[in-house]
Amino acid sequence: MSIYYILQDQRKCIGCLSCEVHCKSNKGLPLGPRLGQIIPVGPKMVADLPKQAFVFMPCFHCEEPWCVPACPTGAMRQRPRDGIVYVDHTLCVGCKSCITACPWGAPQWNPETGKAVKCDYCMDRIDKGLKPACVTKCVTHCLLFGKADKLDQSRRQQFAKNVAFELDQVVSAR
């Protein structure tokens, strides 16, 4: 697993799909590939109220990725220093093995280049001390990017804040 993680505050996500366009416009992608996707679930009645979830699914940057060993050319690789899984486009031959291998459908097909393309946490931005495009420009700031071990703390703090003010709201927001 990469040392980074994107945590989504489901309560604040309004399913506006902006993160998808932030990603695509930053990477200059054509029609087709959607690297970080919002998957809407619901609405469904929860405690007499219609609730809908919008699950953000970028690449999980697995500790033991399915896609890396499946790649015959070594284009799909993991950065040793932080575990980010990315495609070296100079080596990709467009065989789509990674697309087949990934259980979550993270690698996408770029019809313009004839190669695979996937979420790399915008590692060029990370290397400049910035955050991924999706996180930087999220409308409600519901996406949090950081080191996986630190994000745990921010969630606890958020939970504590909620409990401090209104317990029933925490329950209904689940």
Partner 1 sequence: MPQEVFSICFMCTVRCPIRVEVENDEVTWIEGNPYVPGIEGAICAKGSAGLALLNDSERPQYPMIRTGPRGAGQWRRASWEEALDYVADRLKAIVGEFGGQSVVFGERTNLNTHISKTFVKALGSPNHFTHDALCKGSLNTAFRTLTGFTDAQVGVDYANSRHVVFYGRNLFESLEIKAINNLFKALDKGAKLTYIDPRVTITATKANRYWMIRPGTDLALNYALIHTILKEGLEDEEYVRRWVKGLEQLRTFVEPYTPEWAAQECGILAEDIVALAREVAADKPHVVFHYGYRSSHHPNEIYLRRSLIILNALMGAIETPGGLFFKKGLKAAGRGDIGKYVSQEFPKISAPRFDGSGSTQFPIADSSHGNPQMLAHAILKEDPYPIKALIVNRFEPLQSLPDSATVREALDKLDLIVDIDVNYSEIGWYADVLLPESTYLERGDSIQAISGLKPQLFIRKPAVSPRYDTKPAWWIIKELANRLDLGQYLPYATLEDIWNFQLKDTGAKLEDFDEKGFVVLSDKALWWDRDKDIQFKTPSGKIELASTLMENAGFPSFTPYVPVPPPPEGHFRLTVGRCAAHTHVSTQNNLYLSELVPENELWINTAPAARLGIQDGALVEVVSPIRTVRLKAKVTDWIHPEAVFMLHGFGKTVPVQTRCYQKGASDALLQENVSDHAGGSPALDETLVTVRAI
Q: Interface mask (CB under 8 A) for partner 1, residues 51-80, using x and -?
A: xx----------------------------
- Burial (CB count <10 Å: 0-12, 13-18, 19+), residue 87: buried
Applying CB under 8 A, does 166 fall inside the site for partner 1? yes
Which residue spans within the chain are E strands per DSSP?
4-8, 37-46, 49-57, 76-78, 85-87, 108-110, 115-117, 143-147
Give the C-alpha separation, 79 to 127, whole Å: 12
- Kindly give, in sequence order, each residue whose CB lies less than 8 Å from that of residue 162, ignoring residues fewer than 6 positions away: 169, 170, 173
Q: Is 25 in the site for partner 1 (CB under 8 A)?
A: yes
By beta-carbon proximity to partner 1, the closer residue of 63 and 112 is: 112
Cβ nearer to partner 1, comparing 50 with 129: 50
How far out from the chain centre does Cα 170 lie? 24
DSSP letter for each residue of 40-58 = EEEEEEETTEEEEEEEEE-
Site map (CB under 8 A) of partner 1, residues 5-24, x = contact: -------x-xxxxx-xxx-x
Locus of tokens 């789509």: 96
In the complex, what is the shortest distance from the CB of residue 173 to partner 1, in angstroms, rounded to a whole number?
Answer: 9
Q: Applying CB under 8 A, which of residues 68, 70, 139, 148 lies at the interface with partner 1?
A: 139
Binding mask 29-48 for partner 1 (x = CB under 8 A): -xx--x-------xx-----
Residue closer to partner 1 by CB (options 76, 133) is 133
Tell me if 138 contacts partner 1 by CB under 8 A.
yes
Question: Which span sits near partner 1 by CB under 8 A: 79-87, 89-97, 99-107, 138-146?
Answer: 138-146
Instruction: State which residue, 18 or 78, has the beta carbon closest to partner 1.
Output: 18
